[in-house]
Amino acid sequence: MPGFGIDAIHEAARRLTGQVVRTPLLNSPMLDDLVGARVLVKAECLQLTGSFKVRGALNALLALDEGARRAGIVTYSAGNHGQGVAAAARLAGCPAVIVMPSTAPRIKVDNCRWWGAETVLYDPRTEDREEITRRIREERGMTLIPPFDHPRVMAGQGTVGLEIAEQARQLGLTPDTVLVNCSGGGLAAGVITALDDAFPGLAHHIVEPAGFDKMARSLATGRVCANPRPPGGLMDALSGPAAGARPLAVLRQYDVTGLTATDQEVLAAMGTAHRLLKLVVEPGAAASLAALLSGKVDVRGGVVALVASGGNVDPSVYREALTD
C-alpha cells in the first residue's frame, strides 16, 4: 500500500523518538499460570494521553508542512484518538477541533479540552460524524487526521509492534501469537505488520465487541462492513461504525482470525489487569486480555503478545470492574 509498510513504520519510529513514551512490556507469572502460556502485555495505557492513539496522530501531524500546521487539524473520535490529536496539536503548537459522540466518557471529553482542543459533540444515533467534520474542515481550512484510515496514522500505531518485538527479544522470547483490540483497524494493521516482519509465521488475532465484529466480517467478505447500529455497552474505544478500508487491505495480506469479547468478560479482564499487572485498563483496551482469559484461543505452552491499548475509564465503570 502506498505510504504504508514496514519501512513507513520504522520512519514513524524515528519521527516519534523522544516525543512519546516507550511503554513497558509487562509479564506476570500469575497471569502466565492462569493462561498456561507466557503472556506479554504492552502497557499503552501508560502512554501519553493514556492511549496508543497519540503515536499515529503525532506521526501524521509532524509530516504536515508549516502552512497546514498553522491552519490546524480536525478529527472525529470516540475519545482516545481525539486526545491523541489534541496532545499532538499542543506539542506542535497548532489548533485542533475534535468531533466526539455525546455518549463519549466524560473523562475523554475533559481530557481533550485540557490539551487545548475545541470539542464538538454530536448525537451518534441521528448525526453523521464525518459530515460534521467535513463541514468544519471546509469552513476553517483544517487538515483531517482520521482515527485509523490513513497510512501515517497506521504507521505511527505500528511503532507499538516494533517496540514489542525489540522488548521481547531483550527478554529472549519469540512470540508465536498476537492479539490486538480492533475497531477501525489502524492499530491492528500496524502492529501485525511490524510483528509479522519480526516473527514470521506467528498467529494473528483481532478482538472486537461481541455482536459488533465489523472487521472480522470485512475480512470474511473482502469488503468494508459496518455495524448495524452503535454498539453501546462498555467498549466505547471499539465503537467505530465501520472498518477502515486501508487497514482492511493490510490485514487481508495476513491470516487474521477474528475473536470477540463481551462486556462481562472485559470487566473481568480489567479486574485481572489490576490485580496481576497493577494496570488501569479501559474496557475496549481489555478486549484482547478478555478473549485470552475466556479461552477464545488456544495459546497453551506458547508466548502470546497483546496490547493493553488504553486506560481512560470512568470511575464508575472501573469500580464495577474491581467488584465484579
Per-residue pLDDT of 255-271, as tens digits, reads: 999 999 999 999 999 99
The C-alpha cell of 156 is what? 505511527
Question: Is residue 15 domain-shared with residue 164, that is, in the same domain?
Answer: yes
pLDDT for 107 equals 81
E-assigned strand segments in 213-321: 256-261, 303-308
The cell for 102 is 455525546
Residue 308 near residue 80 (C-beta atoms within 8 A): no
- Whether 1 is in a domain gets the answer no
User: Residue 116 has what DSSP assignment?
Assistant: T
> Is the pLDDT at 63 greater than 90, yes or no?
yes
Q: Considering the chain, what is the average pLDDT of its residues?
A: 95
Tell me the pLDDT tens digit for each residue of 21-51. 999 999 999 999 999 999 999 999 999 999 9
Q: Closest by alpha carbon to 141, among 84, 68, 62, 85?
A: 68
Domain end position, chosen among 117, 144, 171:
144
pLDDT band at 292 (very low <50, low <70, confident <90, very high): very high
Q: Are residues 92 and 237 in the same domain?
A: no
Consecutive H or E run containing 204:
strand 203-209
Residues 137 and 262 placed together within one structural domain of the fold: no
- Strands (DSSP E) contained in the chain are 25-26, 38-43, 73-76, 96-101, 118-122, 143-144, 177-181, 203-209, 256-261, 303-308
Q: Is the pLDDT of residue 324 over 70?
A: no
Cell of 54: 497519540
User: Phi and psi for 200 in degrees, rounded to 5?
Assistant: -55, 140
Residues 217-253: pLDDT tens digits? 999 999 999 998 877 789 988 888 899 999 999 999 9
Task: Indicate the number of domains in the chain.
Answer: 2
Same domain, 73 and 34: no
143 confidence band (pLDDT: 50, 70, 90)? very high
Is residue 190 one of the residues assigned to a domain? Answer: yes
The C-alpha atoms of residue 50 and residue 311 are separated, in whole angstroms, by: 5
Residues 121 and 44 in one domain: no
Q: By residue range, what is the domain housing residue 70? A: 54-144
Whether the pLDDT of residue 124 is over 90: the answer is no
H or E, element range at 39: strand 38-43
Q: Return the closest-CA partner of residue 304 out of 286, 320, 288.
A: 288
User: The dihedral of CA 276, 316, 296, 216: what is its sign?
Assistant: negative
Q: For residues 261 and 287, is the Cβ–Cβ distance under 8 A?
A: yes
Final residue before a domain boundary, out of 95, 126, 144: 144
Q: Are strands 73-76 and 96-101 parallel, antiparallel or unpaired?
A: parallel
In a domain, 87, yes or no: yes
Tell me, yes or no, if the pTM score tops 0.85: yes
Instruction: Give mean pLDDT, residues 296-315.
Output: 96
Across 296-320, average pLDDT: 95
Percent of residues, the chain, with pLDDT higher than 70: 100
- Reported as half-sphere exposure (CB side, CA atoms, 13 A), residue 40 has a value of 25
Q: Are residues 82 and 29 in the same domain?
A: no
Same-domain status, 92 and 182: no
Same domain, 67 and 48: no
169 with 189, same domain?
yes
Strands 143-144 and 256-261: unpaired
The pLDDT, as a whole number, for residue 252 is 97
Domain of residue 109, CATH code: 3.40.50.1100
Residue 253 lies in a domain: yes
As given in the structure block, the three cell numbers for residue 89 are 496539536
> Which three cell numbers mark 144?
483531517
DSSP tag of 277: I
* End-of-domain residue from the set 144, 168, 203: 144
User: For position 257, what pLDDT does the model report?
Assistant: 97
- Dmax (CA) for the chain in angstroms is 56
Assess whether 42 and 61 both reside in one domain: no
The set of cell numbers assigned to 126 is 441521528
Asked if 205 and 279 sit in the same domain, the reply is yes
pLDDT > 90 fraction of the chain, expressed in percent and rounded: 87
What does the pLDDT average to over 163-183? 98
pLDDT digits (tens, 9 = 90+) for 78-95: 778 899 999 999 999 999
Query: Are 301 and 252 spatial neighbours (Cβ–Cβ below 8 Å)?
Result: no
Mean pLDDT of the 168-186 span: 97
For residue 117, what pLDDT is reported?
96
Residues 177, 240, single domain; the answer is yes
